[in-house]
Amino acid sequence: MSIWDDYKTRVRTRINVKQDRLLLTERQWKLKHYVKLNDKCGKYLWVNAYCPNQELYLWDEEVRKMTDEELATYRAEEKEKRVARAKRRELKAEFDKLKKQKMDKSSTERRSFNMIKAMRNKIINNSVCIAKTVDIALYDYKENFVADFITDFGIRKTIKMSKKNLQKMFNWKEAVEFLKFLNYDKDMYEKFIRYFFPDKLEYLSLVKENEVIVVDTETTGLNADTDELLQVSIIDSQGNTLFNSYIKPLYTDNWNKAMAVNHITPEMVANAPNILEVKQEINRILNSANIIVGYSTNFDLSFLSAVGIENSKATVIDVMQDFADIYGEWSDKYGCNKGQKLTKCAEYYGYDWGNDTAHDSLADCRATLYCYQKMLKE
């Protein structure tokens, strides 16, 4: 007799779970490092009466703890997925930027856009596609460079093509200009040119960096509607400081609770500009980015948004959320892995703070960038 015999419904919300029992999806159990006992366990249910998809649900008696080998495999697979997701977010941000460009712009931009479409079609038409859908991009820049190239455009096919055939398809100038217009990252440029056009290495100077920025703030409290900014810092993907300044609050005279954490005193901001004086500069920098990285990014962006500083087109990456799954401290209260402090994340990746101290927004930007880059390389 199965435990499910007592539950004929196919909707999860119609099952009353007692306090001493757990009924979770297979993924939720895996996040807690449990796997199902066998393939006969569990039942596919709709999350609620309006949900179009079903999930496999398992009772606590239908799962067991992962073995060390299973846990290692699971963590490795999750890391691969996170890296792939981050890469796809970056590439999607770049491609979305192109799609949003209107054709009534200058003739030069129109020609560039048409060149991209022609190049994309040329690659697709001359490629041998294997009808196998993949969930993550392939990052073998030798035999399967084009697989990654095509996947980035949403065509989820595995492509096989020899170096010789690819070189016949288009010349090195077309390739470089094409990638340059897309703002591809430096590593991809270099690997592309070194592998396919090794006699043109001098043109690596044409590479243009990705427009990635890291943002961090310090505030008088936790509520963006009632509290104010005390410090704003922004750096680029190379760690160069684009903006860093204390901010004098417009209405708040003291912030004792926040001061105990960030150590910013009223005297330190007394001669600093207020947010209205630097708003235009911060807004310009924020809107120059395709990708905004931060630690609890939505918190920082909510304070900027409250004073009219926004970039709704950029892709937002929260390192804290990604690190939560890597660190794997489960929260029964929220039903997911618990977010960790930046200091814990920095310690995990071996970051050296040097003379910097946590809760200075510029120092936090540098630590966040370091951790973000480490996560991408895992």
pLDDT tens-digit map of 319-360? 998 888 888 888 777 777 888 899 999 999 999 988 888 889
**Share of residues in the chain with pLDDT > 70 (%):** 68
Average pLDDT on 67-84 reads 88
CA pair distance 205, 207, nearest whole angstrom: 5
What local confidence, expressed as pLDDT, does residue 361 receive? 92
User: Which one, of 375, 349, 334, 322, lies nearest residue 32 by Cα?
Assistant: 334
Residue 245 makes CB contacts below 8 A (sequence gap 6+) with 231, 232, 233, 272, 273, 278
Q: How far is CA 104 from CA 96, 110, 119, 288, in A?
A: 17, 8, 21, 21
What local confidence, expressed as pLDDT, does residue 193 receive? 56
For residue 137, pLDDT beyond 60: no
Q: What is the pTM of this model?
A: 0.48
Interval 170-196: pLDDT, tens: 454 555 554 444 444 455 555 555 555
Higher-confidence position of 113 and 156: 113
What local confidence, expressed as pLDDT, does residue 175 receive? 53
What local confidence, expressed as pLDDT, does residue 159 receive? 35
**Contact in structure between 139 and 148 (CB atoms under 8 Å):** yes
212-377 homologous superfamily: Ribonuclease H-like superfamily/Ribonuclease H (3.30.420.10)
What local confidence, expressed as pLDDT, does residue 249 receive? 93
For residue 259, pLDDT beyond 50: yes
b/e per residue 76-95 (b: at least 16 CB within 10 A): eeeeeebbbebbbebbebbe
Q: Lowest-pLDDT range, 137-146, 183-192, 296-305?
A: 137-146
What local confidence, expressed as pLDDT, does residue 214 receive? 94
Average pLDDT on 209-219 reads 82
What local confidence, expressed as pLDDT, does residue 139 receive? 31
For residue 149, pLDDT beyond 50: no
Where does the chain have alpha helices with state H? 26-31, 68-99, 107-125, 145-151, 163-169, 172-181, 186-196, 256-262, 266-269, 275-286, 297-306, 319-327, 342-348, 361-377
What local confidence, expressed as pLDDT, does residue 342 receive? 92
Average pLDDT on 272-280 reads 92
For residue 206, pLDDT beyond 70: no
**Contact in structure between 293 and 368 (CB atoms under 8 Å):** yes
> In a 10 Å sphere around its CB, with 0-12 CB exposed, 13-18 middle and 19+ buried, how is residue 367 labelled?
buried
Q: Lowest-pLDDT range, 92-96, 153-157, 243-247?
A: 153-157
Chain mean pLDDT for the chain = 75
**Contact in structure between 289 and 212 (CB atoms under 8 Å):** yes
Domain layout of the chain by residue ranges: 3-66, 101-206, 212-377
Interval 1-53: pLDDT, tens: 577 777 777 888 788 888 788 899 998 999 889 999 998 898 888 887 676 77
What local confidence, expressed as pLDDT, does residue 198 receive? 58
CA pair distance 248, 181, nearest whole angstrom: 40
